[in-house]
């Protein structure tokens, strides 16, 4: 299969972690006879330094013409980097918002997996963490409260602010379809999270999700109120498979789910549009404090590349091979500095990539 991939190495540790992810993809391609074609584009600080803007139209077009985008991370030290003296629309992060918008990426996926070998990093009680968990938060990314009308006014000397939370049924339906499709590739359970006891937008959300569920009789659907979900994530995270939710609830819950894994260097993510196209990137930032020192953990980016194979190319077997290679490396006791623990062998970014590649071959 021919896979056209646009890569955005970005800033900080971005180029180091993307290099390891490409190495991993190449190993899978060699094993299964695929042809990976990469084209790099600049985004964030790297683009500002060359073009004066965080993302050019040409870069967007290159990304659009690919089958998928693999990104490292963008941004610098927000207190010392000259990029943060620029107007907000010219700063590195503006590039990320612009590419998400240009590519119509409305579904954000963040898996939160607790690996047995890293259970010690989980801040939950042992009786909870020992059960492990493997969930995926599917968050609507382009609607809801963050995109609704807002204003601040003053009446009779009293300041007043209004934000609006709007969803139409089509916005809900397209993300629900993604959620059910992805649940079919996993443990076949969707927990739809809302606040239907209070909000009209949530009652519509619930109704549309139930309509979509009729086309997926093999997937179990349950509804959960967002406040209960926030509690259940720390009380019994093993119960979840796919958590399907709107923009703001997803923003908060996905951070909570990430934190209970305890390992930022392990967390992959994806943003999808309504075709098979997606942008895949680690959940962490550009870690300028460790950039260029061969200290970064490349696993979040390697697992993002695995998600790309699974969700944009339907290459589930190849994705499983990467996921299993990562698990095996952890089992064999290798760790980068961020996940290091007693009795393990500490390795750098490149060596971690090499060890994963060895286990793919
Ligand atoms: P960060 O995630 O970059 O770093 C937080 C801490 O985690 C640091 O100590 C860092 O060294 C460590 N860390 C992060 N990823 C790691 C990895 N793979 N291996 C080992 N250690 C790792 O968050 P920050 O310091 O708040 O942000 C730094 C820059 O990244 C900022 O400019 C921010 O805007 C940007 N950022 C970009 C994205 C993105 O590109 N999507 C996301 C978040 C933050």
Helix/strand/coil (H/E/C) assignment for every residue in 163-223 = ECCCCCHHHHHHHHHHHHHHHHCCCCEEEEEECCCCCHHHHHHHHHHHHHHCCCCCCEEEE
Closest Cα to atom 11 of ligand 1: 287
**CA quadruple 75, 79, 84, 88: dihedral sign:** positive
Pocket test for ligand 1, best of 287, 290, 337, 346 (most atoms within 8 A of CB): 287
Q: Ligand 1 within 6 A of 108 CB?
A: no
**Per-residue pLDDT at 11 exceeds 90:** yes
Is the pLDDT at 119 greater than 90? The verdict is no
Average pLDDT over residues 56-75: 97
Strand 334-335, strand 345-346: pairing:
parallel
Tokens 């607790």 correspond to 114
**Which stretch of DSSP H or E encloses residue 19?**
helix 14-32
Q: What is the pTM of this model?
A: 0.93
pLDDT in tens, 61-70: 999 999 999 9
Ligand 1 neighbour 302 (Cβ under 6 A) = no
The C-alpha atoms of residue 153 and residue 161 are separated, in whole angstroms, by: 6
pLDDT in tens, 161-202: 999 999 999 999 999 999 999 999 999 999 999 999 999 999
Closest CA to 360 of 309, 325, 319, 323: 325
- Given ligand 1 and candidates 280, 286, 339, 350, which is best to mutate, with the most ligand atoms within 8 Å of its CB? 286
């Amino acid at each position: 299969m021919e896979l056209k991939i646009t890569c955005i190495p970005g800033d900080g540790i971005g180029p180091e972690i993307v290099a390891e992810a490409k190495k991993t993809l190449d190993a899978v391609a060699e094993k299964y006879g695929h042809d990976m074609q990469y084209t790099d584009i600049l985004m964030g600080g790297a683009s500002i330094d060359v073009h004066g803007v965080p993302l050019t139209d040409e870069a967007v077009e290159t990304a659009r013409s690919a089958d998928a985008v693999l990104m490292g991370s963008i941004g610098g030290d927000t207190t010392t980097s000259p990029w943060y003296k620029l107007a907000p629309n010219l700063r590195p992060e503006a590039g990320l918002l612009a590419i998400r918008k240009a590519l119509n990426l409305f579904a954000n996926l963040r898996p939160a997996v607790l690996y047995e070998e890293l259970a010690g990093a989980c801040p939950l009680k042992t009786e909870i963490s020992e059960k492990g968990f493997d969930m995926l938060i599917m968050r609507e990314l382009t609607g809801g409260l963050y995109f609704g009308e807002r204003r601040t006014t003053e009446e009779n000397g009293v300041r007043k602010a209004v934000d609006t939370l709007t969803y139409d049924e089509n916005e809900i339906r397209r993300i629900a379809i993604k959620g059910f499709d992805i649940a079919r590739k996993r443990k076949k359970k969707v927990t739809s999270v809302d606040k239907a006891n209070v909000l009209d937008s949530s009652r519509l959300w619930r109704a549309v999700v139930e309509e979509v569920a009729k086309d997926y009789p093999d997937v179990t659907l349950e509804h959960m109120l967002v406040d209960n979900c926030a509690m259940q994530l720390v009380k019994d995270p093993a119960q979840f498979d796919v958590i399907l939710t709107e923009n703001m609830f997803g923003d908060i819950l996905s951070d909570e789910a990430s934190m209970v894994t305890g390992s930022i260097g392990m967390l992959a993510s994806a943003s999808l549009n309504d075709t098979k196209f997606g942008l895949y990137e680690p959940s962490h930032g550009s870690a300028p404090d460790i950039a260029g020192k061969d200290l970064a953990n490349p696993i979040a980016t390697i697992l993002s590349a695995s998600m790309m194979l699974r969700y944009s190319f339907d290459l589930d077997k190849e994705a499983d091979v990467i996921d299993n290679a990562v698990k095996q490396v952890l089992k064999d006791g290798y760790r980068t500095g961020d996940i290091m623990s007693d009795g393990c062998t500490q390795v750098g970014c490149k060596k971690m990539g090499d060890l994963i590649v060895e286990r793919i071959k």
